[in-house]
């Protein structure tokens, strides 16, 4: 498996910003499709944003225009810039890596980082 280490979560006021980071181990990061998911209590884990190995991005409707996903392949790091945060954004945010290389399929998750948006 690939180890994913997340950072950047915390408590912010509505309208504020946070930047999440996810550092990946190994040399497969550049070949992988990456995503940010979030899960609130008693709710399922949903995709927030994704970025493929070629750089193509996709966003959930609820975060379009507010969140930006990006990657730094040289640093094996995934980012999620979150602006204009709302209370409904409160959740545990997870980093996900997916790739298929010859005889192995990767589907790995970070530990999660708490984001709380409250006044």
What does pLDDT average to in each consecutive run of 10 residues of the chain (119 residues)? 94 98 93 97 96 98 98 97 98 97 93 97
- Residue holding tokens 């912010």? 12
Give residue 58's pLDDT.
98
In angstroms, the CA 17 to CA 7 distance is 14
| Residue 102 CB partners (closer than 8 Å, separation 6+) | none
At residue 34, the pLDDT reads: 98
So what's the pLDDT on residue 27? 84
Which pLDDT does position 1 carry in this prediction? 81
Residue 29 is predicted with a pLDDT of 95
Tokens representing 92?
A: 């545990």
Predicted pLDDT at 26: 79
Contacts of 90 (CB under 8 A, 6+ apart): 40, 115, 116, 117, 118
Measured CA to CA, the distance from residue 76 to residue 25 in angstroms comes to 7
């Amino acid at each position: 498996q690939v180890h994913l280490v997340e950072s950047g979560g915390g408590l912010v006021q509505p309208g504020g910003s946070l930047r999440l980071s996810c550092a990946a181990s190994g040399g497969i990061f550049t070949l992988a499709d990456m995503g940010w998911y979030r899960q609130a209590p008693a709710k399922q884990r949903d995709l927030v944003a994704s970025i493929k190995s070629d750089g193509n991005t996709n966003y959930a409707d609820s975060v379009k225009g507010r969140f930006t996903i990006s990657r730094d392949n040289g640093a094996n790091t995934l980012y999620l810039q979150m602006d204009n945060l709302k209370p409904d954004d409160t959740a545990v945010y997870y980093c996900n890596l997916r790739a298929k290389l010859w005889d192995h399929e990767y589907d790995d998750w970070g530990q999660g980082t708490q984001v709380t948006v409250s006044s």
